[in-house]
Amino acid sequence: LAVAALVVLPLATSPAAPRVCQGSAALCDRRYDEVAYLTSHNAMSTTVDRFIGPLQDPGITAQLDDGVRALQIDTYRWEQPDEIAGRLDDSDFTDAQRALVTRAVNAFNPPREGLWLCHSVCRAGALALVPTLRGIGDWMREHPSEVLTLIVQDAITGEETRQAFHEAGLDDLILTPDADPTKPWPTLGHMIDSGRRLVVLAEQADGPAPWYRNFYAYGMETPFAFRSPDEMSCAPHRGGDDKRLFLLNHFITIDGGSRLDAGTVNTRRFVLERAHRCERERGRPVTFVAVDYATIGDALGAVDALNAER
């Protein structure tokens, strides 16, 4: 009786794909504060969301799809009638005209309850805070190898902010920074492995949530009120000097944003030249490259080049 020989062959296996963090295997071992991030200035103020005087074109999650990895957002409650009247006090309107404008604004666009993302005046454009945060969380869960930062210009309380992030279901994503701002940050790989890969920092508040720390305790910045590309300096501004995080405010402000100037300052060459100059002058690598109209020019290419150099 012939017995067939059974030959057991090892199964062929394909090599494991290299680990990727923030789109690059090289960044996994890099500390959070050693990486550069394309940053969307006034990220909520968009053309697609019909803001008056928008500073970005796509919506927030589309910005993330386009490579933005830090969002500067402004939190507000809807302004009340007396606040509108107060803002008109410095105008050339007569008392009667101020009263008429206030009544008209409140009739056609009355105050709304809750917490909002607005650019100074909610009647000029607003996104509900909690649903927007929930959308950011959904995007992060769909992109598990990405690290994201929110820099909040906060006109609501720290407790209101904590509750909004809780309602949006983001508690499990938020990283709590070391209480000592001088301590090194974790690597991107560690943040991704732990699931704590969302950093939230405030311009005004410092707590009460342990993860909601004041940006200027951990970071420094350049000035931001530039009216022409030639004015863009690297001088110390808020946050002083010698901080681990370095915000490069890289946009032109002339009564709002300027697409024309964005076409100049957002070019890869212009961003790199200014970033290198500011790194030399301030003695720290640039962390956040904050731009208006992030889809104009190639600021993302400049950020990728900064990371490749390090």
Q: pLDDT (tens digit, 9 = 90+) per residue, 251-270?
A: 998 777 889 999 999 999 99
- Who has greater pLDDT, 108 or 44? 44
Same domain, 66 and 87: no
pLDDT at 14: 56
> Is 218:181 a contact under the CB 8 Å cutoff?
yes
pLDDT at position 1 over 60: no
Same domain, 234 and 300: yes
Q: What is the pTM of this model?
A: 0.90
**pLDDT class for 16, splitting at 50, 70, 90?**
low
Same domain, 158 and 66: yes
Domain with residue 60: its CATH number is: 3.20.20.190
pLDDT at 125: 92
**DSSP-derived secondary structure letter, 248:** E
User: Rounded mean pLDDT of 236-248?
Assistant: 97
> What whole-number distance in Å separates Cα of residue 132 and Cα of residue 44?
9
> What whole-number distance in Å separates Cα of residue 211 and Cα of residue 138?
20
pLDDT at 89: 72
Same domain, 133 and 252: yes
Same domain, 84 and 150: no
Give pLDDT tens digits for 95-107.
887 777 677 777 7
> What whole-number distance in Å separates Cα of residue 23 and Cα of residue 299?
16
**pLDDT class for 196, splitting at 50, 70, 90?**
very high
Percent of the chain, pLDDT > 70?
Answer: 91
**pLDDT class for 25, splitting at 50, 70, 90?**
very high
The answer to whether position 120 is within a domain reads no
pLDDT at 121: 86
How many residues belong to the chain? Answer: 310
Range of 38's domain? Answer: 25-78+127-309
The mean of the pLDDT values for the chain is: 92
> What whole-number distance in Å separates Cα of residue 272 and Cα of residue 305?
8
Same domain, 90 and 54: no
The answer to whether position 202 is within a domain reads yes
Q: Which two tokens stand for residue 244?
A: 């681990």
75 bridge partner residues = 117, 154
Same domain, 108 and 251: no
Same domain, 59 and 92: no
Q: Which two tokens stand for residue 232?
A: 């863009």
The answer to whether position 298 is within a domain reads yes
**DSSP-derived secondary structure letter, 274:** H
User: Rounded mean pLDDT of 135-164?
Assistant: 98
Same domain, 91 and 44: no
The answer to whether position 8 is within a domain reads no
pLDDT at position 91 over 80: no
> What whole-number distance in Å separates Cα of residue 275 and Cα of residue 6?
65
User: Rounded mean pLDDT of 78-83?
Assistant: 79
pLDDT at 120: 85
User: Rounded mean pLDDT of 23-51?
Assistant: 98
Same domain, 91 and 208: no
Same domain, 91 and 180: no
The three-point CA angle 204-143-145 to 5° equals 85
Same domain, 63 and 188: yes
Closest to 301 (Cα-Cα) out of 276, 273, 274, 267: 267
The answer to whether position 231 is within a domain reads yes
The answer to whether position 7 is within a domain reads no
User: Rounded mean pLDDT of 228-253?
Assistant: 96
pLDDT at 6: 45
Task: Using DSSP, state whether 77 is helix, strand or coil.
Answer: strand
**pLDDT class for 5, splitting at 50, 70, 90?**
very low
Q: Which two tokens stand for residue 253?
A: 């402000």
**pLDDT class for 215, splitting at 50, 70, 90?**
very high
Domain count, the chain: 2
Lowest pLDDT segment from 77-86, 124-133, 215-224, 225-234: 77-86
User: Rounded mean pLDDT of 72-91?
Assistant: 80
Q: Where are the beta strands (DSSP E) in the chain?
A: 37-40, 70-77, 115-118, 126-128, 148-154, 198-202, 213-214, 219-221, 245-249, 288-291
